[in-house]
Structure 1
């Protein structure tokens, strides 16, 4: 796989024992989807879908009205959030992705409180009812900052890649958002 900004990925021929390896657009490595455009949109969508599947598997516990909301929230934090936030330290979160993550957080909360989509309750009202604040994006940013501190102290190739300080000309057009840009906000 060749990771590039270009619309059409450059062709790369690699041979092992005179056998040509197939070039791919995306693959899964250690549970994370790596795509040839270098973006994390597919990975975040896959994580969201996997977390929703796990939520459905634990639905009997997470929406049970006989269990207190605090206990259900703790169960959610223990069993669903880790699935959703796996490898989030490497995500580049744009405003669009942040909105998607916040919507996902509200999706989980509305189901835990058994609020149907036809009930016209605002997100703020749902958060008040659950005695909760939005915490998913904040937790992701905290994990990213912790990881960034580790990378900055190490000061090797990871530091160079993360800070994006390479010599040479930049490409034309709007520059992509970097991990550092998300942490600055």
Structure 2
């Protein structure tokens, strides 16, 4: 098997540089539903299991895989935390600017409501993670330092806290 002479730390660095950079491309525009969050976590664990050479038949829990990876590379942010942080940072950036993106972000389109339950909107993620209204987040985003602190604290919550769709 190839790659047996490459350390786990080097493999994780390659994963983050080559695979995750492509995966995270335009992740700021995603609406994170419970299903999408589950898929993101599944991708991350699949990549780590491949790096460690673990089979699903070995019955190794995700917590054990995370612990093993952390022993090799030290503390790290999981993929879902990175996505949330990038999305919150982009929201703050767009809110402070005066461009088309801000107009689109703040605009709404009048239409008939669909049958069934309401779909989760992009802005619902921001409200859910910050625990603030849309108007409060827009005012808070004007101060970069306060927004940066909020982004850091909001994105670091455990994924289990925000898996409702």
Q: Provide the TM-score with structure 1 as the length reference.
A: 0.59
Q: CA RMSD in A?
A: 2.2
Does 1 or 2 have the higher relative contact order (CA < 8 Å, sep 6+)? 2
Aligned length: 123
How far is the alpha carbon of 1:159 from its aligned partner? 2.2
| More helix, by proportion | 2
Tell me whether 1:145 sits opposite 2:82 in the alignment: no
Gaps of 5+ in 2: 130-165
Give the secondary structure class of the aligned counterpart of 2:57. coil
Map 1:2-151 to 2 at 5 A: 60=2, 64-131=3-70, 135-151=78-94
**What is the rounded CA distance, in whole Å, between the counterparts of 1:120 and 1:167 in structure 2?**
49
**What is the rounded CA distance, in whole Å, between the counterparts of 1:171 and 1:177 in structure 2?**
13
How far is the alpha carbon of 1:168 from its aligned partner? 4.2
Q: String of CA shifts for 1:119-143, please: whole Å, max 9, x gaps.
A: 0111001111111656111111111
Tell me whether 1:171 sits opposite 2:119 in the alignment: no
Gaps of 5+ in 1: 1-58
Q: Provide the TM-score with structure 2 as the length reference.
A: 0.65
